């Protein structure tokens, strides 16, 4: 017994056949195969037994297009959301503290919570209005 292993003589699985079927259908969609050619190859596809048989079905087809590159992460949008969440949290905490002090003393205190809330809120509002972090189309 010899160790002559030929990869193209390995038997194929249904998963391999389905991948080739998808490639054949894509070739028909792209116009590389006519409907008659597609039908012939699909009929022969399920009769294949080895990888060599599968390779003959797609040998003359152009190589599939590479997948598009993954989209770049939108760091500006994430930064704007984080900054807005921080601003809302700090503003809410300050407002609650002011309300508690006003209710406990039964006298409305000076609205000091506006000073840490309004200037950063105005800056964030302008940034959102200018479109910082908005997806470009």
**Position 81 in a domain:** yes
pTM tops 0.85 = no
Residue 127's CB: how many other CB atoms inside 10 A? 16
**Position 137 in a domain:** no
Give the C-alpha separation, 98 to 42, whole Å.
74
**Position 1 in a domain:** no
SS3 content of the chain, % helix, strand, coil (to 5): 65, 0, 35
Whether residue 126 sits in one domain with residue 79? yes
**Position 30 in a domain:** yes
**Position 94 in a domain:** yes
**Position 65 in a domain:** no
Can you give the residue range of the structural domain that contains 126?
A: 75-130
**Position 24 in a domain:** yes
Domain total of the chain? 2
Whether residue 122 sits in one domain with residue 87? yes
Whether residue 79 sits in one domain with residue 43? no
Tens of pLDDT along the chain (137 residues)? 455 667 778 899 999 999 999 999 999 998 989 999 999 999 999 899 999 999 899 999 988 878 888 877 778 888 899 999 999 999 999 999 999 999 999 888 899 989 989 999 999 999 989 888 776 65
Please state, in angstroms and as integers, the Cα–Cα distance from residue 103 to each residue in 91, 95, 108, 114, following that order. Answer: 18, 12, 7, 18
Whether residue 54 sits in one domain with residue 97? no
Whether residue 54 sits in one domain with residue 12? yes
């Amino acid at each position: 017994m010899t160790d002559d292993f030929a990869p193209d003589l390995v038997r194929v699985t249904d998963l391999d056949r389905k991948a080739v079927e998808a490639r054949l259908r894509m070739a028909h969609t792209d116009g590389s195969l006519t409907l008659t050619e597609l039908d012939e190859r699909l009929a022969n596809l399920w009769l294949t037994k080895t990888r060599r048989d599968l390779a003959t079905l797609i040998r003359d087809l152009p190589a599939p297009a590479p997948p598009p590159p993954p989209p770049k992460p939108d760091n500006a949008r994430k930064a704007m959301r984080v900054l807005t969440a921080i601003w809302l949290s700090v503003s809410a905490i300050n407002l609650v503290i002011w309300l508690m002090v006003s209710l406990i003393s039964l006298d409305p205190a000076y609205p000091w919570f506006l000073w840490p809330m309004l200037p950063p809120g105005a800056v964030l509002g302008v940034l959102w209005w200018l479109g910082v972090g908005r997806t470009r189309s």
